[in-house]
Structure formats: C-alpha cells, structure tokens
Chains A and B, each alone.
Chain A
Amino acid sequence: MNAEGGGEAETVLRLSNITKRFGPLTASDSVSFDLKRGEVIALLGENGAGKTTLMNILFGHYVADEGTVEAFGKTLPPGEPHAALAAGIGMVHQHFTLADQMTVLENIALGTQSLFAPRFDRGRALARIEELSRDFGLEIRADALISDLSVGERQRVEILKALYRDARVLILDEPTAVLTPLETEALFATLRKLVATGLSIIFISHKLNEVMAVSDRVLVLRSGRISGERRTADTDRGELAALMVGETIKEPEVVEHSPGDTVIELVAVSTAGRAGGAPLDAIDLALREGEITGLAGVSGNGQAALASLIAGTTKPESGTIRIRDEIVSDWSARAALAHRIGRIPEDRHATGMIGDMSVTENVISEAYRSPRFSRAGLLDWKSAEQFAETIIRDYDVKCPSPNARVRLLSGGNMQKLILGRAFDGEPQVILANQPTRGLDVGAVAYVHTKLLEARNRGAAVLLISEDLDEVLALADRVIVISKGRLSPPSKRGELSVREIGERMAGHGFADGVTDAA
C-alpha cells in the first residue's frame, strides 16, 4: 500500500532499544523499529508477546527501563500520556473508549476544547467531521447516540476521533476482533485511503490473513523480542506463523465421521432479555453425538444467552429443553451438571475459576457434593487433592502445587484446569464458549485436540466462537446466530466465508428475514 516513489520516505516514529521488565519477566527486550510516512506496519504476535506493553510505553502509560521513543524527530518525554497525543499519535483501542449517552459529535469533540474556552463552535466541528467521514469512507450520523450504534460504527467513531485530532500516526489494536467479514473489508478500504494521504499506521493483530492483506511490513514479536521483520510482499503465512510461535505447532486433524443420536434438543426456546447481548428468539437446536456444531456470529447476537441457557445459569422463558427425548422441566446449573453437560465458560477469570481459591478447591466446585468429595457435609480434602493432581498430570497443567492460588496461573493453564473439570466423567454434551480466546497458539491447539477427542468418543459439542477460522476448522456443521435467531445448519465446507459473513450480518435466514444490520 505504500505510495512509493520520490526516494526514502520520512521517518515519523522511531522506537530505539525499548526494554521493560516486570520483576523477573522481560515484557519488552530492546525492541527497535522505525515507521515511515505512509507505511502500514503490522505488529504480529501471540497474546503475551509484548504488543500491548510496547503500545503502553509509546503512550506513556508505562515508563521504559531503557530506550527512547521519537516522534517526528523529537524524543517523547517518558511517562506522559499527553505527549504522544500532542505529537499526533492516535490509538483505537480494542475496547472502545466512548461515552454511550453522548452523540458522535460530542464524543469526537470531547477533550479537544479547553475547559475555559468561551464557546464550542459546533458548526465548524460538524463540518470537519463530515469532511473527514466523506473523504475516508467513514459513514456516520454525527448526531446519533453512541448507544444506538453498532460495533462497526463505534469503531468508525474511534477512528474519526483520532483523525479529528490531526493524528498522523494511527495505531489499531486488534481492530477486526469485533467485526464481520464485510465490515473488516470496509475498514481495510478506509485504511488504504488514509495511507494514501500520508498517514502511517501500526496494525496490531494475531491474525495472519489480515496482516498479509493490509501491511507493507510485518514485525513479529515473540516473548518481548522482535523475532523477525519481513516485507509483506516477500513472505507468506507459513513463515510468519513460524516466527510467531518459534516452533511449528500441529493443529489436530479432523477425521470425518457420521454423527449419532440427538443428545440435547432445544425446541422454540426463548430467553428473557438482559444486559449485554440479544436474548434468544424461539430457536430450535439439536446437538448430536459425535458432532461439533460451530456457532458463528458477531459478538452480542445471543451467544451469551445460548451459552448460559445450556450451562444452566438461565432458564428458558418459553420452549422446551429435551435431553435424550426426556423433557427437562427444572433447569439449573446443577440440573445441567446432573445431565452430564460439561461446560467451558467464556470468561475464565470471571465465571470459570475462583481466583483466590486453590487449584484443588476450584476443580471440585462442580462436584463437591458428590460422595467422591464429601460425606454428610464434610469435605474429603484428600480425595479432592488427588483429583487435582490427576488433572494437573493428565492435562499437563503448569502450577507449583494443588494448593497454589488459581490467580497465579497463566490463562492457558487455567483453561486446562477448566477442561479437566468439565471433561471429568465423560460428559455427553460439551459447551465450549470461546474456549481459546486469549490463549497462545500452543494452548489453542491443545484445546482443539481435546474438543475433537471428546467428539470422537461420542460427545455432542457446541463450539461458540467469534473466531470464524476456528469454527470453520473444527465444526462438522456451522450455524450462524444473528439477533438471537439461528440460521439453518450448513455442513462443513458447504458455505464460503463470504456467505457465512452475510449470514452473520443478518441476511439469508430461513424465514426470509433480511433486515440489514
């Protein structure tokens, strides 16, 4: 995308030997790179590779132990968040920083005016925003409330916010995580227009496809160091993946086989609305033995409602749940466990584990009442500890001892504990809600292997994921969720990514609902 010609472009941002240590951990190890005018650099790396640390140093949230940041030839004073903004560096965070109850215009202008300014020239601000949005394909209604906007639109507001402040360097942190494939393409088109006007972009991602699609140059970070730098034109996905992980990790192979009987069936189930996502709207869903059903969809379209329904933490408002042809009337987390449903929750820290309790105490949390772990209200800690040790051994959990507090474990190890707990007693249904979010590539492959093992021994697996690649790689059939409704299932390979993307945006549902998102 670099508009080359006219010799060497000007360097707009230079990081020299940035080193940052947290106790024994070196989060950033003498990282240096230059960003040229009109260039797109992709910062590629797994979770924990040091991408966020680097950006926090750039923005003055952390002070580097060594090294300097130079913007447009001037060294930025360390530890001053305003310096980077004043120097023309804008950032679009993964989690947006917008005030929900204010309009687009207000959000964009927020903080650009002195508190003591006599008045706010609304007309000029509006004209400026309209000009920016027209020039860069960032369509938005300036008087709309943020709370009425879709996620993709909110991201546009964030980008406009940075442009309104005359950003000449734009940093995007995992910008596509919340977008549909179509929205992603629109974002890339915008980025191309921005670069054409001389803006420079740092694109942070762990998705190889996107990095290949947008960048001029790729910097691969691994455990705080730059493990490789490549011109995008001279490299390929395989090489980048190897640089990112350091070794080749084998993803498990999916062997075709035909599914068995239906284990759990939802018939015309609706749930009550609640904060943070759409409720379910009269859905039908049947999960069969030995089959992974992948649920794709844009975040907030009812995944949370479906997951908590199957996990037993919410009851259906109407409709029936049938397990092995028996209608279950009293539905709860305990009922779900009693019907041998193994659950992997979306948020390990908030719902999966109790951080300040030990590994042992956590692994028995679903079964502490069984005679295996307690008798007449008295816990059998010896048996519980043996169970913890079994999981630690079988699932290769790295932890100092079964008495260690779970908070001290890494995300991958925590997830292994959850797998060990959920898969105990060979559950007949497995609910895996975002099972690999935030895990490194090695742990992702491990989780995938375990899910496939469960499927191969005959469990009915529901895999809910916002990562479409994951769904397509593992699922025997794919269902798309949009606004609390399910699309008809499609067999593996039946639909293209583009067609699934359209369904994710709400098109092509069986009953002919084609309202655009």
Chain B
Amino acid sequence: MRLEPKPTPGLATTLLYPAGAILATIVIASLLVLIAGASPFNVFWLVAKGAAGSQFALLETLTRATPLIFTGLAVAVAFRAKLWNIGAEAQLYIGAVVTVVLGTGAVAMPTPALIPLIMICAMLAGALLLLGPAVLKVRFGVDEVVTTLLLNFIVILFVSMLLEGVLKDPMGLGWPQSKRVIADAQLPRLIQGKRLHFGFVIAVASAVVMWVVMKKTTLGYEMRAVGNNAEAARFAGIPVNRVLMKTALLSGGLAALAGFSEVAGLKGNLTLDLSPGFGYTGIVVAMLAMLNPLGVVASAIFVAGIFVGADAMSRSAGVPSYIAQVMVATALLTMVTAIMLTRYRIRWK
C-alpha cells in the first residue's frame, strides 16, 4: 500500500471527506453504545440535548470550551511552526500557580490593574516554561516532544508539593488546595448567577488576535515559513531559531492563560484536579481545527459539547461518560484520515 499525492482537491472532496469522517465517528460510537446496552439514537439525542439543549447546557458547554480555546490556540500556534508543544498541561498549571500567588492578597490594587498584571505574569511564566525545551531543541537538538511531555509530570508534582506546602490553604480542612483568590482578582461572570465568565471573552479575543498574527504579520509569516520548510526559510534569511523562540513564548503564554482563566474565572482556587487534561485535549482541538485560530474556537466548543453532553447523557441513560473521550478520539482519527485522503490517494500494491 502506498500514497500518491493528488492534484488540488476540489470543493466536493474537501467537504465530502470531513462529512464522511463525522459519519464514521457516529457509526463507531454507535457500536460502542450498543455494546453498553443502550440505543444509539437515544444516546446521541441525549448528548446533543445535554450539550446545547437548554440555556444551562449551552452555557456549561461554553464554560468548558474556555480553557480548551486557550490550550487549542497554544498548540495550533506551536504546531504551525512545527514546534511540538505537548506541554500545554504544565504551562496551564504554571499559569494557575502564578494566578494564585498574585491573586490571594499578595498584591493589592484595583481590579482593572490587578487582572491584567496577573494575566501578564501568568503568560510570562508559561512562556518561560516552554522556552527551556525550545532552547534545548535549537541548541542541542533535544526532542521537544519528550521534554515538554515530561515537564507535564514535573510541573504537576511540583504543584502538588506547593499545595501540600507553601500554597496550602490553612483553612482547607487538610485538603491539598490553595486559598481562594480575592474578589478583586476574580473575572466577572458574564451572566449573573451563571458559571460562564469573562475568560470566555478573553479566549475568543485571543483567537481573533492570533488569527490576525498568523495572517497579517511578519511574525506569522515567519512561523508558517519555518513550519513548512525550515531549510528554505533559513536560506531566505529568516532567523529560524529566533522564530522558534518567539513561537515558544507565544504558545506557552497562551496555554498559561487557560490556567489563569480557570482559577480567576471559575474555580477560585487551585487544586490538583484543576485540569482534567485540558492541555492534552488542546492538541485534539487544534488538530480538528486544522491549526486555524478561528477554527480552534469552533472545535473547542464542539469538543466541550461532547464532554458536557456525555456527562448529562450518562446520568440518564446509564452509558459511562467515557464514551465522550472515545467519541472525541475517534473524531480526531477519522478527521485526520479524511484530511490525508483529500490530499493523497491510496494505491494498493
């Protein structure tokens, strides 16, 4: 079996294959639902209703999508320059740590000054965390997939240490959790009494900014050139290493915002279950969006919807909510296959 490149794919194939991918995902998920002993139609209906069937469901989906937009953007930006940042999870936690350190009363200033300050510091921390692996890659050729992945474990254990030590809330009944951030450092809710918070607005605005950066600026041009063909970029005089550094700073900063927004907007404090793998899911989000920053918003909402919907579904249909992860993973695989098939044709033998 081998792959032959196709000429420019037509509009029909560009639409047909992704549609086929969605269909294949539904078929595969249906089989699993059948094995679990439920009716696929019922289950999908319940997932859809749970994700977008009411104001509550919709707001919950958008709330869940917020950190995924940030991590999805972080991954999309890095992958565009072929910097394989698998460490958004670690950058997210570092962003959360900075938010807690600065937001629990150590700095006192009015909200309009305090929140931007915390944001900037969180971004800096995330950026510096990814700068290390980027320097190692550029200087010594160390594979950043390995270093960023392993940093996730290091950082999570580090956070765990902080939560058992200096950051531990003395009033927390012994739980490994931090103090709550003060009111001045909290992001406002978008609708009174609901969980959706201002972080969502920041996330969407970041996506728009990143879209402009990628399309209109010299930096975005450099990143795309380096990602597509680093040797040609170097030949043309593009400072490849410097571009990779800038990419790392940008990507790490965006991922850290996920941690900031979860703490300052939603949870109020830092615990070890702050992120149920938002950093890793960001990879899926970015790939489904084909690394387009605006696409990241749509795919983050889609992925969040499946997770939120599946939670609701499992409560009423008795199918484990793990089905959500299977669906998201299947969607990724079928979508990647579909993208490949629009570009290549398979020849047997």
Contact = CB atoms under 8 A, between A and B. Distances in A.
B28 interface: no
B218 A379 contact: yes
Nearest to B6: A23
Contacts of B234: 313, 333
A408 B5 CA distance: 11
Given A334-B237, A378-B217, A350 B8 contact: no
Nearest to B213: A377
B62 to A, nearest CB: 31
Interface in A304-359: 311-313, 332-334, 336-337, 343, 345, 350-357
B225 interface: yes
Contacts of A345: 235
Contacts of A252: none
Interface string B194-207: 00000000000000
Interface residues on B, range: 20 to 34
Nearest to A332: B237
Contacts of A354: 225, 228-229, 232-233
Given A374-B218, A378-B217, A350 B7 contact: no
* Majority DSSP secondary structure for residues of B touching A: helix
Residue of B231, B235, B349 with highest tally of chain A CB at under 10 A = B235
B231 A368 contact: no
B237 A337 contact: yes
A337 B234 CA distance: 12
Nearest to A400: B8
A365 interface: yes
A351 B219 contact: no
B8 A357 contact: no
B171 interface: no
B236 A355 contact: no
A216 interface: no
A484 B331 CA distance: 55
Given A23-B7, A377-B218, A351 B231 contact: yes
B216 interface: yes
Nearest to A356: B228
A289 interface: no
Interface residues on A, range: 20 to 34
B232 A353 contact: yes
A377 B7 contact: no
Contacts of A377: 217-219
B237 A355 contact: no
Contact of A365 (B7, B236, B349): B236
Contacts of B231: 350-351
A313 B233 CA distance: 11
A408 B343 CA distance: 12
Interface string B205-243: 000000000001111010011001101111111110000
Interface in A350-383: 350-357, 361, 365-366, 368-369, 374, 377-379, 381
A343 B228 contact: no
Given A333-B237, A357-B225, A351 B232 contact: yes
Contact of B237 (A350, A366, A379): A366
A311 B221 contact: no
Contacts of A334: 237, 239
A379 B225 contact: no
Given A378-B217, A379-B217, A357 B236 contact: no
A489 interface: no
B217 A365 contact: no
A376 to B, nearest CB: 9
21 contacts: A311-B235, A312-B237, A332-B237, A333-B235, A350-B231, A351-B231, A354-B233, A356-B228, A356-B229, A361-B221, A361-B224, A361-B225, A365-B232, A365-B238, A368-B218, A377-B217, A377-B218, A377-B219, A378-B217, A379-B216, A379-B218
Interface of A: 23, 79, 311-313, 332-334, 336-337, 343, 345, 350-357, 361, 365-366, 368-369, 374, 377-379, 381, 405, 408
Interface of B: 7-8, 216-219, 221, 224-225, 228-229, 231-239, 349
Given A332-B237, A365-B233, A378-B217, 6 more contacts: A312-B237, A345-B235, A356-B229, A365-B225, A366-B237, A379-B221
The 9 closest A-B pairs by CB, nearest first: A333-B237, A365-B236, A334-B237, A354-B229, A351-B235, A354-B228, A366-B236, A354-B232, A356-B228
